[in-house]
Amino acid sequence: MLELIEPSPPGSTVTHFPTRPRLLVVDDEPLILEGLSRLLATRDYEVETAGGGCEALIAIGRQQYDVILLDLGMPDLSGTEVLRFVTERSVDTQVIVVSGDSTIDAAIRALRGGAADFVRKPYEPEELLRRVDNTLTRRRLERENNAILQRLQQSEKWHRFLVNSSPDFIYTLDSEGHFTFVNDRAESLLGYRREELLGQHYSLVIHEDDVSRAEHIFNERRASDRNARNIEIRLKCNPGMRRPRLMNGRCRTVELTATGMYDEAAGPFEGRFIGSYGVAKDVTDRKQAEETVHFQAYHDLLTGLPNRALFRDHLGLMLAQARRNQQPLAVLSLDLDHFKVINDSLGHTIGDELLLAVGTRLRQCLREGDTLARLGGDEFAVLLPTLVSRGDVEHICRKIIQVLSKPAYVKGHEIYISVSIGACVAPDDGELVDSLIRQAEIAMYQAKSDGRSRLQFWEPGMQAPYSERMQLEADLRRALVRNEFVLFYQPQVDAVSGEVRGFEALLRWWHPQRGLLSPAEFIPVAEESGVIVPIGDWVLRQAAAQMVEWQKAGLPAVRLSVNISARQLESPDFVDSVMRALHAHGLDGRLMELEITESLLMRDFEANAIKLGRLSAAGVRLAIDDFGTGYSSFKYLSRFPIHSLKIDQSFVQDLEREENLSIVNAMVAMGRGMNLTVIAEGVETAAQRARLQQMQCHEMQGYYFSAPLAAHAATALLGQQTGGTADAQRIAG
């Protein structure tokens, strides 16, 4: 910052010179010279004398004098000549003419000629001294003013330099919003010369879509800390600018900070609004980089079409909308037939061109609101958000198949292609994003194996083709090595107190390409291929490790339930693998609960009874999962060392139905009668919770209390247990 300039208080008559004021007395009359010198010597002045005009000039050339007392009538060189010399050469001094010529004319001439004052001879000594003193004071003030002026000019130059060489666009507006100042950056940023902008309304440079936002910022009246800061806005460049390419586009994105300006003369509180000033930082390049990164994350770079991630996003949004409007939507999976052959025989460049051409043709068959995405390779997907019937899907697909069957011409090659399409419709075929995409894909594989170039709707029971399962299986095996599995924990809370009694460990898979997968998407394949055994082993060990971590952290001891699959239970190593997990971490078996479905228990009744008996002896608890969906035979169940019954969510979710109400009632009553802990699964609403409480169900689990939580969130929830109940801290869905 530049220092402030503080002049000494005006009106002070004391003269301050760095040294004593230096005076020159000029007169050809020796007596007068002598008398004046003596008079002046009574003051603290340094006095020198000159006996004529020439001598005076020599002295002035050698020395600087603050005041010269000058006689006019001198024989060698008149005082008038000396005065002219002083004025014309801008000698830094003040001249008081002391003359015997008492006419008013002489005085006027002297003053016009540049004298500071005029004193008549004979002079009154006091009067002369006063005049000298006044002249000295005036000289001092003038010098000080000059110094201030110079510093102000310097400071002004500095500020102008700083403002103009700023990389930011700086402006001021009057109270009506017209530019009153813009810095040099206006030209390189917006392509307007300063004169073109001054006097113009700011709206000239605002992008059409940002007008209302701009109004708010450009009319900024606040001058406090609450003023508009770093507001992002687009500025329009001069449409007629000469070097548009240098400007890198027709509009710039800036971050604007604006402040109101007030006329301070009116006082700090009643200041009159006189306009605003602002600083706009050009962030166009950063924005473009961000947009590019964002685009690349959500688009296929070859065709510029949305990729799988964006397609999933759109589908999620459209599903919610379709649910609100109670309108069906369709997901199509399209795969080119024999694309690999074309790619391998004609090369990737032609393959890429062909994919581009296919993208264009597909787009032509769709309406504006439909989403077309490239999921990878030669696989495309389409989302038809507004449908009337399956007939609509058939109609569009017929068109697609027909349009694509026309030959494509790429670099002199005539290429024939066809497409196989799989389709599924929400909500009929489900309402989950990933399952819908999967189902459409499965249907598409079916279309391929049924002869290609056709449409196939998904039907329940349709299986993913063998090769695809092989892929999933290979991915699953690698997933263990690459540590791609995680456990989520869903609290099971006490029906009365709302306290967390336990957690169910639920498996998730961070698939490197497909994102977070739920067990429904991979457990069946894992089960079929047997990979579930090592995975299940990992789940047991991971769960035990988590329990021990909680114990070490001094958190309340709660139960942890782990789901057991058929293959796992049937494995001869099953009991040992549970015991190993417990021992590895030194965990008390009573804190571990195994969730097994009834149908699974019944599969190999005798063997299971022995295995579970051994585990029970080690304290491990047993829960019947999805209770009510299988045999529900208490007679058989009583042969197993069971601790808990988990009432399947299908009953809980439809508690309004009288029939379900009585079934659940009976299940709770029987469970209680057998001294089992009864846990209701899938509790989503307060009404369901109230019903279940009335029935004296022990514990509940479901989105009403909390969705499955990542480990850190489950830890936090347990940590709060002492401070409150899970009920009180319900985490919505």
Give the interface with Mg ion as residue ranges (CB under 5 A). Answer: 563, 595, 625-626, 681
Adjacent-strand bridge partners of 509: 485, 517
Nearer to ligand C2E, 510 or 703 (CB): 703
Least distance (Å) between residue 595 CB and Mg ion: 4
* Residue whose C-alpha is closest to residue 333's, from 461, 466, 475, 465: 465
Sign of CA dihedral 22, 28, 34, 39: negative
Per partner kind, with CB cut-offs from 5 to 8 A, the member of ligand C2E, Mg ion, none near residue 220 is none
Site for ligand C2E in 611-630 (CB under 6 A): 625-626
Per partner kind, with CB cut-offs from 5 to 8 A, the member of Mg ion, ligand C2E, none near residue 282 is none
Nearer to ligand C2E, 70 or 600 (CB): 600
Report if residue 708 touches ligand C2E, rule: CB under 6 A. Answer: yes
Burial 70-93 (b: 16+ CB within 10 A, else e): bbbebeebbbbbbbebbeeeebeb
Report the SS3 class of residue 293.
helix
Decide the pairing of beta strands 699-700 and 485-494: antiparallel
Least distance (Å) between residue 205 CB and ligand C2E: 54
Q: How many residues in the shown chain lie near ligand C2E by CB under 6 A?
A: 22
Per partner kind, with CB cut-offs from 5 to 8 A, the member of ligand C2E, Mg ion, none near residue 107 is none
Cis peptide before 385 (omega within 30 of 0): no
Per partner kind, with CB cut-offs from 5 to 8 A, the member of ligand C2E, Mg ion, none near residue 492 is none
Per partner kind, with CB cut-offs from 5 to 8 A, the member of ligand C2E, Mg ion, none near residue 429 is none
Contact 695, 665 (CB under 8 A): yes
Contact 556, 578 (CB under 8 A): no
Q: Which of 52, 79, 385, 702 binds ligand C2E (CB under 6 A)?
A: 702
Angle at 661 between CA 657 and CA 666, to 5 degrees: 150
Nearer to ligand C2E, 393 or 623 (CB): 623
Q: Which two tokens stand for residue 283?
A: 């962030």
Nearer to Mg ion, 300 or 593 (CB): 593
Least distance (Å) between residue 730 CB and Mg ion: 20
Per partner kind, with CB cut-offs from 5 to 8 A, the member of ligand C2E, Mg ion, none near residue 427 is none
Q: Is 228 exposed, middle or buried (0-12, 13-18, 19+ CB in 10 A)?
A: buried
Contacts of 586 (CB under 8 A, 6+ apart): 548
Q: What is the DSSP letter of 705?
A: T
Adjacent-strand bridge partners of 477: none
Nearer to ligand C2E, 456 or 561 (CB): 561
Calpha distance 199→22 (Å, rounded): 54
Per partner kind, with CB cut-offs from 5 to 8 A, the member of Mg ion, ligand C2E, none near residue 616 is none
Angle at 259 between CA 258 and CA 264, to 5 degrees: 160
Q: Which of 307, 343, 439, 490 binds ligand C2E (CB under 6 A)?
A: 490
Nearer to ligand C2E, 99 or 649 (CB): 649
Q: How many CA atoms lie within 13 A of 247 on its CB side?
A: 23
Stretch that binds ligand C2E, among 168-176, 251-259, 267-275, 676-684 (CB under 6 A): 676-684
Per partner kind, with CB cut-offs from 5 to 8 A, the member of Mg ion, ligand C2E, none near residue 518 is ligand C2E
Angle at 327 between CA 321 and CA 332, to 5 degrees: 85
Least distance (Å) between residue 649 CB and Mg ion: 7
Q: Which two tokens stand for residue 296?
A: 């690349």
Residue 55 zone, left/alpha/beta (φ > 0; ψ -120 to 50; rest): alpha
Q: Which two tokens stand for residue 313?
A: 């996003």
For residue 712, count other CB atoms closer than 10 A to its CB: 8
Q: Which two tokens stand for residue 345?
A: 């025989």
Nearer to ligand C2E, 15 or 565 (CB): 565
Nearer to Mg ion, 383 or 622 (CB): 622
Give the residue closest to Mg ion by C-beta. Answer: 595
Decide the pairing of beta strands 329-336 and 379-384: antiparallel
Nearer to ligand C2E, 81 or 521 (CB): 521
Nearer to Mg ion, 681 or 699 (CB): 681
Query: Binding marks (x or -) toward ligand C2E, 546..585, rule CB under 6 A?
Result: -----------------x-x--------------------
Report if residue 542 touches ligand C2E, rule: CB under 6 A. Answer: no
Per partner kind, with CB cut-offs from 5 to 8 A, the member of ligand C2E, Mg ion, none near residue 536 is ligand C2E
Site for ligand C2E in 495-534 (CB under 6 A): 506-507, 518-520, 523
* Residue whose C-alpha is closest to residue 400's, from 417, 378, 424: 417
For residue 656, count other CB atoms closer than 10 A to its CB: 10
Report if residue 649 touches ligand C2E, rule: CB under 6 A. Answer: yes
Stretch that binds ligand C2E, among 73-81, 192-200, 234-242, 682-690 (CB under 6 A): 682-690
Q: Which two tokens stand for residue 543?
A: 């769960």
Report if residue 684 touches ligand C2E, rule: CB under 6 A. Answer: yes
Nearer to ligand C2E, 520 or 728 (CB): 520
Contact 115, 83 (CB under 8 A): yes
Residue 474 zone, left/alpha/beta (φ > 0; ψ -120 to 50; rest): alpha
- Kindly state the helix (H) or strand (E) to which residue 516 belongs, with its residue range: strand 515-517
Stretch that binds ligand C2E, among 27-35, 238-246, 293-301, 681-689 (CB under 6 A): 681-689
Per partner kind, with CB cut-offs from 5 to 8 A, the member of ligand C2E, Mg ion, none near residue 238 is none
Least distance (Å) between residue 508 CB and ligand C2E: 7
Q: Which of 539, 587, 600, 601 binds ligand C2E (CB under 6 A)?
A: 539
Report if residue 491 touches ligand C2E, rule: CB under 6 A. Answer: no
User: Which residues contact ligand C2E by CB under 6 A?
Assistant: 490, 506-507, 518-520, 523, 536, 539, 563, 565, 595, 625-626, 649, 681-684, 702-703, 708
